[in-house]
Structure 1
Amino acid sequence: MVLTKVAAENSPIRVPLLQLVVREYDEERDKTAVEEMERKCELEQCGNPSLVTDLMGDPTCRIRRFPTHVMLIAEYGEQNIVGVIRGCVKEATSGNSVFVRLAYILGLRVSPTHRRLGIGSKLVAHLEEWCKQNGANYAYMATDCTNEASINLFTIKCAYQKFRTPTILVQPVHAHKKPISSTKIAIVQLPAKLAESIYCQLFAQSEFFPKDIHNILSSHLNLGSFMALPKKSLLKFDPQKDTTLPTNFAILSVWNTKEVFKLQVKGVSSLTYACCVGARVLDAWLPWLRLPSFPNVFKQFGVHFMYGLHMEGKNGKWLMKALCNFVHNMAREDDGCAAVVTEVSQRDPVREAIPHWRKLSWEEDMWCVKKLADQAKQGEKTTSSDDGQFDWINTRSSSSVVFVDPRDF
Structure 2
Amino acid sequence: MVGGGGVKVREYDEERHKMEVEKLEKLCEVGSNNNKPSLLTDLMGDPICRIRHFHLHQMLVAEYGEGGEVVGVIRGCVKTVTKGNNSSLYIKVAYILGLRVSPLHRRYGIGTKLVEHLEEWCKQKGANYAYMATDCTNEPSLNLFTKKCGYSKFRTLTMLVQPVHAHYKPISSNVVMFRLPPCLAGTMYNYIFANSEFYPKDIDLILSNKLNLGTFVAIPKKNIGRFDPKMGILPPSYAILSVWNTKEVFKLQLKGVSPLAHACCVGTRLLDEWMPWLRLPSFPNVFKPFGVYCLFGLHMEGKYGRNLMKGLCGLVHNMARDDGGCGAIVAELGLRDPVREAVPHWAKFSWAEDMWCIKNLEKKSEPSDWLTSKPSSPVIFVDPRDF
For the aligned pair, the TM-score class normalised by the smaller chain equals over 0.9
Separation (CA, whole Å) in 1 of partners of 2:320 and 2:32: 28
Residue matched to 1:201: 191
Please say if residues 46 and 267 of structure 1, whose CA atoms lie closer than 8 Å, have aligned partners that are also in contact: no
Matches within 5 A, 1:152-163: 152-163=143-154
Change (3 A) 1:157 1:390: closer
Match of 1:224 among 199, 214, 217: 214
The question of 1:49 aligning with 2:37 is answered yes
Is 1:398 the equivalent of 2:386?
no
Decide whether the 8 Å contact of 1:143 with 1:365 is kept in 2: yes
Given residue 395 of structure 1, which amino acid in structure 2 is its aligned partner? S
1:111 paired with 2:76, answer no
Q: Distance in 2 between matches of 1:391 and 1:91?
A: 18
Instruction: Show structure 1 runs of 4+ deviating over 6 A.
Output: none
Q: Report SS of the residue matched to 2:369.
A: coil
Q: Please tell me the residue identity of whatever aligns with 1:45.
A: S
1:39 match: 26
What is the distance in 2 between the residues matched to 1:359 and 1:333? 24
Q: What is the number of residues matched between the two proteins?
A: 381
| Greater mean deviation of Cα atoms: 153-162 or 89-98 | 89-98
2:159 pairs with one of 165, 168, 178: 168
**Cα deviation code 1:105-147 (max 9, x no counterpart):** 0000000100011100110000000000000000000001110
Alignment of 1:2-401 (within 5 A): 17-45=4-32, 47=34, 48-77=36-65, 78-95=67-84, 96=86, 97-181=88-172, 183-238=173-228, 241-374=230-363, 391-401=369-379
- Aligned residue for 1:298, secondary structure, equals coil
Further displaced range: 31-40 or 241-250? 241-250
Checking the alignment, whether the CA contact within 8 Å between 2:228 and 2:234 is kept in structure 1 is no
Q: Which moved more, 1:21-30 or 1:241-250?
A: 241-250
Looking at structure 1, the residues matched to 68 and 240 of structure 2 have their Cα atoms a distance apart, in angstroms, of 48
Greater mean alpha carbon deviation, residues 299-308 or residues 393-402: 393-402
Structure 1 residue 79, shift from structure 2 partner: 3.0
What amino acid is aligned across from residue 88 of structure 1 in structure 2? C
The one-character-per-residue Cα deviations of 1:276-326 (angstroms, maximum 9, x if unpaired) are 000000000000100000000010000110000000011010100111111
Q: Are the counterparts in 1 of residues 75 and 98 from structure 2 also a CA contact under 8 Å?
A: yes
Which moved further from structure 2: 103-112 or 39-48? 39-48
**TM-score (structure 1 length as normaliser):** 0.91
Partner of 1:393, secondary structure, is helix
Asked if the contact 1:194–1:243 (Cα under 8 Å) also holds between the matched residues in 2, the reply is: no
Task: Tell me, in whole angstroms, the C-alpha distance in 1 between the residues paired with 2:306 and 2:237.
Answer: 10
Measure the CA separation in 2 of the matches of 1:71 and 1:129: 13
User: What's the offset of the Cα at 1:244?
Assistant: 2.0
Contact 2:290/2:326 (<8 A) preserved: yes
Supply the distance in 2 between the matched residues of 1:129 and 1:325 (Cα, whole angstroms). 44
The one-letter code sitting in structure 1 at the alignment partner of 2:51 is: I
Q: CA–CA distance in 1 between the matches of 2:25 and 2:159?
A: 24
- Out of 42-51 and 316-325, give the one that drifted further: 42-51
Give the Cα separation in 2 of the matches to 1:300 and 1:398: 40
Conserved 8 A contact 2:226-2:233: no
Pairwise CA RMSD of aligned residues?
Answer: 1.5
Identity of aligned residues (%): 65
Q: Is the 8 A contact 1:69 1:87 kept in 2?
A: yes
Cα deviation per residue 1:7-47 (whole Å; 9 max; x = unaligned)? xxxxxxxxx95221101000011111111121211220351
Structure 1, unaligned runs of 5 or more: 1-15, 377-387
Is the Cα contact below 8 Å between 2:154 and 2:357 reproduced in 1?
Answer: yes
**Structure 2 gaps, min length 5:** none
Structure 1 residue 160 displacement after superposition:
0.4
**1:68 partner amino acid:** L
Q: Quick one: distance in 2 between partners of 1:108 and 1:99? A: 27
TM-score, reference length from structure 2: 0.96
Q: Can you list the C-alpha shifts for 1:152-180, whole angstroms capped at 9, x where unaligned?
A: 00000111000111100000000011111
Contact map agreement 1:251 1:310 (CA 8 A) in 2: yes
CA distance in 2, matches of 1:79, 1:60: 20
SS at match of 2:285: coil
Q: Distance in 2 between matches of 1:249 and 1:118?
A: 51
Specify the code of the residue in structure 2 equivalent to 1:184.
N
